[in-house]
Amino acid sequence: MGWVGRSIDGFAKWLLRFRIISIPARWIANSRPAWSFISRTDRVRERRMKTRVMSSELPKHVSIIMDGNRRFASDQGLAATIGHRYGKEKLEDVMDWILELGIPYLTVYALSTENVLSREPEELEGLFDLYVEGLKEMADDERIHRNHVRVQVVGRMDLLPERVLDAIEYANKKTSTYEKFVFTVCLAYGSREEIVDAVREIAADHAGGEIQLTDISESEISKRLWTGEIPDPDLVIRTSGEERISNFLLWQMAYSELYFTDVYWPSFSRHDLLEAIEAYQNRKRRYGE
C-alpha cells in the first residue's frame, strides 16, 4: 500500500499550491481544535507505549550523554547559556520519568574534562553556576527524599571550582544514606583518566604488597573506577544526532546497548525516553557471545 500513501501525499501537496486550499488548511492546522486533537492523540500513544514498556523487563541502569544544548540555543537565536539552562530543566523532567518507571540507576554526562579545558571561561562560569543551583535544588527537593534518591558526582574534582565542590558535598550529605535510587552526575569526567587512576591504584597496591599480579582482574579494575559502586549501564542514550561515545564510561559500557537520537537534549521528551527503552527491550543482549 506504499504507493497509495505516496499518491495521496502527492495529491495533497498539489492541492496546497492553490491559495483557496492552502489558506483555510493553514488556519485549520493552527487552530485550537487541531492542536487539541494532536495533543490528545500524542498522549494516547504515549500511554500505550508506557504500558508496553512497563510490561517488559526494564533496564536497571540508564546512562545519557546529554548533547545539543548549544545547538538548540543557536537554532532558537539564543545564547549558549540559555541552552544550558533549558538542558538543566530537561534533566529534572527526565529524573521524574526515570523515577516513575522505577529504574534504580541514572547516570548523566554533564561535563567532560575536555570541556573544562576548551570551553570559553564565560560559558564555563555559567555552567558551574547551573551545577551549584541544580545540586542544591536536588538536595532539598522533597521528591528526592520521598523516593530515597542518592545524588553523587564523579569526575576530576580538582578541575572544579570551590563553589561546585561545596554544592557536591551538600548533596552528598543530604542524600548519602539513600539506596533505592542512585543518580550519578559525571562532571569534569573523562573515562580514560578514570581508567588510568584505577591502574595507578592497582600499581600502588601491588608495589605495597597488597595485591599479587595474578589477582588483578576485571572486577579489581571495575571496583576502583569512579563509578565502582554502581552496576554497568544497560542502556546508553545519546541525543543530538552524534553517534560516538566521547570518552564516556568506556570500560563500563562494554556490553551496553547504545541508542542514538537526533533530538537535541532540551527537546528530549518522555516519548523519546520510552522509545529508547522500547528499542532496548526489542534487542537481544549477547554480552559478547
DSSP run (H or E) holding 183 = strand 181-186
| Predicted model pTM | 0.85
Angle between helices 270-281 and 32-54 (to 10 degrees): 30
Mean pLDDT of the chain: 90
Backbone angles phi, psi at 234, to 5 degrees: -85, -40
- Give me the DSSP letters along 89-129: HHHHHHHHHHHHHT--EEEEE--BHHHHHHS-HHHHHHHHH
Q: State the pLDDT at residue 1.
A: 43
What is the per-residue pLDDT for 38? 47
Question: What CA–CA distance (Å, rounded) separates 173 from 187?
Answer: 18
Which pLDDT value is given to residue 18? 72
Give the pLDDT confidence of 178-233 residue by residue, as tens digits: 999 999 999 999 999 999 999 999 999 999 999 999 999 999 999 999 999 999 99
Which residues are part of the catalytic machinery? 67, 115
DSSP state of 232: P
One-letter amino acid at 117 equals L
- Assess contact for 275 and 49: CB atoms under 8 A: yes
141 has a pLDDT exceeding 90: yes
Domains along the chain with CATH numbers: 58-189+226-281 (3.40.1180.10)
Q: What is the pLDDT of residues 46-85, one digit of tens each?
A: 888 899 999 999 999 999 999 999 999 999 999 999 999 9
Q: Is the pLDDT of residue 5 over 60?
A: no
